Amino acid sequence: MTEHALVQWLRQNNHFLILTHVRPDGDTLGCASALCLALNKLGKTAYLLRNPGDLQKFKGFLTFLWAPDDYMPDHVIAVDIATENLLPQGAHQAYRGRVEVCVDHHASNDGYARELCLDTGASACGEILFRVCRQLGVLDEQIAKALYIAIATDCGGFIYSNTTSETHRIAAALMEYGDFRKLNKHFFQTKSFKQLRLESMVLGSEEFYADGQVCIGKISLADKASVGADEGDCEELASFAASIEGVGCAATLRELTPGEWKVSLRSVDTYADSNRICARLGGGGHAAAAGATVLGTEESVRRQVCDAIFQELKR
């Protein structure tokens, strides 16, 4: 499905439900919020399916129009969701096999939706939704802010390798709608004491390989409990590890439940393909950033991740 075809489909239909992915980030939430607001502005009925993940970071910056419990949508849209396995609790049970349109930028998208609007060259799903909202003629300050959050957070404040000249042009267009200085300070220049403690823990747990070019660190449930942290405090830890001088590939293991680990992988420049590495672990994402969920002890998961990295490096 082309972006133009998506615009026409949105204009012709009504009663939408928008899905976001498990452990939601700024891209999926910003896109969902922007699309919902855009459809409402067109006089359409549209809601977001409530996501049980940690949304505290986005409070006051994004508008979430949650669907009533008895809402029966005619059309289900997924944004920034590469596979149905990433649907959150509630959506996974109720809407698996029912997604009509998926808007995404992940090369690893497995084509689960009936229609796929995919641009793997986009730095964030927010870039696609920007063009869609512009064609719909609905851009305003609130929608622009949501799209800016989507794009800026997926690009790490425009410093990740997925940032392109087009990314900057879109960001500049969005900034014409309002003052985003408070937003930038909140998302990119502010860390809680808990987050700083977690960074220290990750650094202390790092094991280095390949002359310091590969590192693997962890945050266990006990680590999080010791500082009163939750999953929302852990989101940027993988990027922190990748900032260590000389590191080309950084993996951060976060224990979600006993024996269940979220693997977040970041590659610097073109050192390794994170997407292919995580595909070996049952996950996926982008060349520069990807993830997977792996079961086992910390030691066994470290070993699996290390093996996957070096299998890819030997290609």
Model confidence at 168: pLDDT above 90:
yes
Q: Are residues 134 and 220 in the same domain?
A: no
- Chosen domain end from 125, 158, 188: 188
Q: Are residues 198 and 70 in the same domain?
A: no
Q: Are residues 153 and 222 in the same domain?
A: no
At 240 the pLDDT is: 86
Three-state DSSP state, 225: helix
Q: Are residues 8 and 157 in the same domain?
A: yes
Q: Grade residue 66 by pLDDT with cuts at 50, 70 and 90.
A: very high
pTM listed for this prediction: 0.86
Q: Do the beta carbons of residue 271 and residue 288 sit within 8 Å?
A: no
Instruction: Domain count for the chain, please give it.
Output: 2
Model confidence at 308: pLDDT above 80:
yes
Q: Are residues 14 and 160 in the same domain?
A: yes
Q: Are residues 182 and 202 in the same domain?
A: no
Query: Cα–chain-centroid distance for residue 100?
Result: 21
Domain with residue 234: its CATH number is 3.10.310.30
Q: Are residues 180 and 203 in the same domain?
A: no
Q: Do the beta carbons of residue 269 and residue 242 sit within 8 Å?
A: no
Specify the length of the chain in residues. Answer: 315
At 302 the pLDDT is: 95
Model confidence at 138: pLDDT above 90:
yes
Q: Are residues 7 and 146 in the same domain?
A: yes
Domain with residue 124: its CATH number is 3.90.1640.10
Counting Cα atoms < 13 Å in the Cβ hemisphere of 157 gives 12
Q: Grade residue 315 by pLDDT with cuts at 50, 70 and 90.
A: confident
At 8 the pLDDT is: 98
* Helical H segments across the chain, by residue range: 3-12, 26-41, 91-94, 125-136, 141-154, 165-175, 181-188, 193-205, 221-227, 237-242, 274-279, 298-313
Q: Are residues 29 and 158 in the same domain?
A: yes
Q: Are residues 79 and 176 in the same domain?
A: yes
- Convert 247-275 to b/e letters by CB count within 10 Å (16 or more is b): bbbbbbbbbeeeeebbbbbbbbeebbbbb
Q: Given the structure tokens 């006051």, which residue do they identify?
A: 60
Residue 282 has which token pair? 């049952």
Q: Are residues 203 and 298 in the same domain?
A: yes
pLDDT in tens, 231-249: 878 878 888 888 889 999 9
Q: Are residues 154 and 224 in the same domain?
A: no
Model confidence at 162: pLDDT above 90:
no
- Chosen domain end from 139, 165, 188: 188
Q: Quickly count helices (H) and strands (E) in the chain.
A: 12, 11
Q: Which domain does 81 fall in, by range?
A: 3-188
Gap between the Cα atoms of 159 and 138, Å rounded: 29
Average pLDDT of the segment spanning 127-137:
98
**For residue 42, how many other CB atoms are within 10 A of its CB?**
14
- Chosen domain end from 188, 215, 241: 188
Gap between the Cα atoms of 126 and 154, Å rounded: 9
